[in-house]
Amino acid sequence: MRNKLLVIAAIAGALGAPIAAQAQGTITTGVAPGGPVVVGGEADGIAIDQRPAFREYVIRERVPTYTIPDRVIVGGVLPETGVTYYDVPQEYGVTPYRYTVVNGRTVLVEPRTRRIVQVVE
Domain boundaries, the chain: 27-120
Average pLDDT over residues 44-56: 91
pLDDT, residue 86, reads 95
pLDDT tens-place string over residues 34-49: 443 444 444 578 999 9
Would you state the CATH architecture of domain 27-120? Roll (3.10)
Q: Please, how many CA atoms are within 13 Å of residue 94, restricted to the half-sphere of its CB?
A: 0
Contact call for residues 33 and 113 (beta carbons, < 8 A) = yes
